[in-house]
Structure 1
């Protein structure tokens, strides 16, 4: 049974997001499904410390992807863990260009606040406040699959 992380310990039995079949299609709807899935994997990473799935769908050139993966991994070093960081994508607005394999979208990304706990259960750094941001998302369809090229907050 799923148990979210709390001040006493890490999340347990976190369900692994499953890629919907639609997210494998080279279409506007397929990209929308892929983007939602990618953020579900990032949310899973925040809950578990496991960044391998989201990294596998991210280009090595994606600077923010690498930064987020490193930050999540660091938050789980030496028995540490986090609570929160749950992501939701209520709006995904794909700007489809049928003449290109590279596509872009704007995403409303809501994230719950994050608390950071050391192995002994003490909060060891200032919390990260909840956010509700507009995010740019860039992806490419190559080798019959979507790959995240870059993402970042729109200012």
Structure 2
């Protein structure tokens, strides 16, 4: 297997992995919408039945009281290492500010959850800009997103590619004043919007083929706000972000990142890359003739 093939495969797999990651904070699954649409006529035809079950559902979900925390998620403190310079084709990003853990990061409160979300986002962006996933994986206690971290760490370590033209590849905003809490399970849900940096020049540079792929293409998301939600719960003295709360009726909007699923995704990426490589070779040979 050639070095070029390996790097191309890794970059393709990177797109698959990051798309899975960001789906955690992106639009809700189409299956959920389809289920809701399908149940609408039935709900209208059976108003009494709906009324009988609604109080039970509402009784298990509460809106946590307190001041509004709606708005863009921003981590308050960073450790500066100098004037930031975005990555270019010639070099990786320089002097990327290091996220500092907020004081309430591990506090079992809505403020603690907000601090966790801010730090989670900041450490993810730090990973995307530097390839250093230590801080991100240290708070990824469920392991749901460790595969994505491995993709970026591998890409940066091999110097086959890096993010250019961006300081904040991903930006999260909370669209609800406060999260809701399932009193049965303790899981919190907070409505969000996510934006991937769609600025001109913001992308992943592949050193192998001297090509820049826009971040919006790499992540497979448009450069505009995408509605979704964050699901998290507090356990063993820390917050944990998950793909969905237990007992959720609709399918998760996030493909599983378990080893078996990751292997399938990688195999698919390799097949795609192989097909692309064969097509390129055939085209080159035809041109030569």
Q: TM-score range by the shorter chain?
A: 0.7 to 0.9
Question: What does 1:92-131 correspond to in 2, within 5 Å?
Answer: 93=176, 94-97=179-182, 100-113=185-198, 114-119=202-207, 122-123=210-211, 126-129=213-216, 130-131=223-224
Instruction: State how far apart, in whole Å, the 2-side matches of 1:75 and 1:46 are.
Output: 10
Q: Is 2:153 the partner of 1:66?
A: no
1:81 aligns with 2:162: yes
Counterpart contact for 1:134–1:153, Cα < 8 Å: no
8 Å contact 1:75–1:116 — kept in the other structure?
no
Give 1 or 2: higher helix fraction. Answer: 2
SS of corresponding position for 1:23: coil
Question: What's the offset of the Cα at 1:140?
Answer: 2.2
132-141 or 13-22: bigger deviation: 132-141
Mark the CA change 1:107 to 1:74 in structure 2 (over 3 Å): closer, same or farther.
farther
CA RMSD, 1 decimal: 2.8
* Residue of structure 2 in register with 1:139 after alignment: 232
Asked if the contact 1:102/1:138 (under 8 Å) is kept, the reply is: yes
Q: TM-score, normalised by structure 2?
A: 0.45
Kindly state the Cα deviation for residue 10 of structure 1 after the two structures are TM-superposed: 0.3
Bigger fraction of residues in strand: 1
Equivalent-residue separation in structure 1 for 2:138 and 2:113 (angstroms): 16
The alignment partner of 1:21 has SS state of: coil
User: Highest Rg: 1 or 2?
Assistant: 2
SS in structure 2 of the partner of residue 35 of structure 1: helix
Mark the runs of 5 or more structure 1 residues left unpaired by the alignment.
none
Counterpart position of 2:100 = 18
Q: Deviations over 1:3-49 (max 9, x none)?
A: 22122210122111112112321111211221121011111111101
Output the CA distance in 1 between the equivalents of 2:152 and 2:85: 19
